[in-house]
Amino acid sequence: MGKVYDVIVIGGGQSALAVAYYLRRSGLNFLLLDKEPAPGGSWQYAWESLSLFSPAQWSSLPGVIAPGGAAYYPSRDETIAYLRDYEQRYNFPVERPVDVTSVSNVAGIFVLETPRGTYQSRAVVSATGSFTNPIIPAIEGREEFGGVVIHSSEYRSPAAFVGQRVAVVGEGNSGAQILAELSRVADTLWVTLKPPSFLPDEVDGRYLFDAATRQYEARRQGKDFRPPSLGQIVMVPSVKDARARDVLHSVPAFDRFMKNGIGWKDGRTEPVDAVIFCTGFRPSLKHLHPMLPVLPDGKAGTEGTRSTAVPGLWLVGYGNWTGFASATLIGVGRSAKKTVDEIVNYLIKHTL
């Protein structure tokens, strides 16, 4: 057998770095395996104009406040730089690019297969997020459509769509922001499953996180707290501008593709050159198959971040089912700390 680490973290984005922060303080021998060639996680593939809808102070990992203060909303590139500097500041042991293709457990030791060889550890943290597993709904006639069909994960800038007619599908923040940007250079059609709802102008990620925190604490105490339903879409500057230009109008979801457009059951048709699906993601857990049973929605059984099916395995950063607000920069720190505490106790118990 080669070297056996105490912990291997699969991933190199914000969730992996938060876990590494607490592992560094634990004294455990750990390693991060990141399939990306450079630091920054999935932020490197977000569209170019993306900015956070929480100010820097509410968009930070444990130990280092993101620069900019309480009223500054970092851009995509600034977020990538923050994550890169964070990794360098703490000198985390990261190997990249290393793509973990499978994980198995042999006699209590995890065996991680990669194109660069085999790695071994006593515990594993999967922190691969969901960006590489986008959801595009199956719609009749897609193979007949002569235009472009992409997911928001593939969208970079409006340059490729200048002068075209583009349908943007999805009533969330990504759909609203991409529509707002595209509508300046293209003829846009906003397609939503349900009517989009907008937060008041003064409400941003700070309020949403605080409200969710109160709900989380109430549940811990056995109380019921339901934050008021104000809407879903944060009114970032680009969306406010789109509202001022009167382009934030939506139509119901279409039922089929045609050669040159899209159509509805009531007979309505619309010509479009491209369709951009802003329809979310499922957890990227392929590397854990078949060791980890996965539910139809792509999730797996957990208690907090700890796998209920595979002892020694934790899943961090996939959303509330793996820890409160764990898919956010500010929220993942809490999940990461609890995860590392559990790992320490697990390793003590299983090395006696």
pLDDT score at 71: 81
The residue whose two tokens read 């500057």 is 237
Q: In CATH, which superfamily holds the domain spanning 142-198+233-277? A: FAD/NAD(P)-binding domain (3.50.50.60)
Domains 4-132+281-350 and 142-198+233-277 share a fold: yes
CATH code for the domain defined by 4-132+281-350? 3.50.50.60
Per-residue pLDDT of the chain (352 residues; tens, 9 = 90+): 579 999 999 999 999 999 999 999 999 999 999 999 999 999 999 999 998 888 888 889 999 999 998 888 899 999 999 999 999 999 999 999 999 999 999 999 999 999 999 999 999 999 999 999 999 999 999 999 999 999 999 999 999 999 999 999 999 999 999 999 999 999 999 999 999 999 888 877 666 666 666 666 666 667 765 655 545 888 889 999 999 999 999 999 999 999 999 999 999 999 999 999 999 999 999 999 999 999 888 999 999 999 999 999 999 999 889 987 788 898 899 999 999 999 999 999 987 5
Domain boundaries, the chain: 4-132+281-350, 142-198+233-277
Phi first, then psi, for residue 217 (nearest 5°) are -65, -40
pLDDT score at 205: 66
pLDDT tens-digit map of 221-250: 677 656 555 458 888 899 999 999 999 999
Contact at 8 Å (CB) between 31 and 6? no
pLDDT score at 232: 82
pLDDT score at 213: 66
